[in-house]
Amino acid sequence: RAVLAGTTASAAFVAMLLLGIWLFIHMRKSKKATNDLNDIENVKSLKFDFNTIKSATNNFNEDGKLGEGGFGTVFKGKLKNGQDIAVKRLSGNSTQGIEEFKTEVLLVAKLQHRNLVRL
């Protein structure tokens, strides 16, 4: 009877230890993915100065307006090297916060679709 209790306790301890290790690894991966998503500084290709964007969109000309989103108006533009771009000009009265904006930028930067220009 004592042997059975010892074996059961040992098995329960090993099971709890394995569960703890699995949870630790899973939470660490999840936290790293969240940090990567929120790190807008990792998206190097999105860094253009304002004058470049202004020139590419012809001073945010209404003729180049593609639509409006939650953060502002989207304009079509063309860089000096001929690459087509879409630029979202933020609206001052946007109801969404900075974290939502960062998430949108990062998701769009990572999107790949035949109808989308790669950022």
Give the integer Cα–Cα distance in Å for 86 and 111: 14
Global pTM? 0.53
Binding residues, as ranges, are 88
Same domain, 63 and 19: no
Q: Which two tokens stand for residue 50?
A: 């304002």
Q: In 3D, which of 56, 89, 83, 57 has the Cα closest to residue 70?
A: 89
Provide the domain count of the chain: 2
Question: Which band of pLDDT confidence, cut at 50, 70 and 90, is reported for residue 40?
Answer: low
Question: Residue 6 domain-assigned?
Answer: yes
Q: What domain range is 20 assigned to? A: 2-38
Specify the pLDDT at position 95: 67
Check if the beta carbon of residue 37 is closer than 8 Å to that of residue 106.
yes
Q: Give per-residue pLDDT as tens, 64-81.
A: 999 887 778 889 999 898
Give the integer Cα–Cα distance in Å for 14 and 7: 11
Same domain, 28 and 82: no
Same domain, 70 and 21: no
Binding residues for ATP, as ranges, are 88
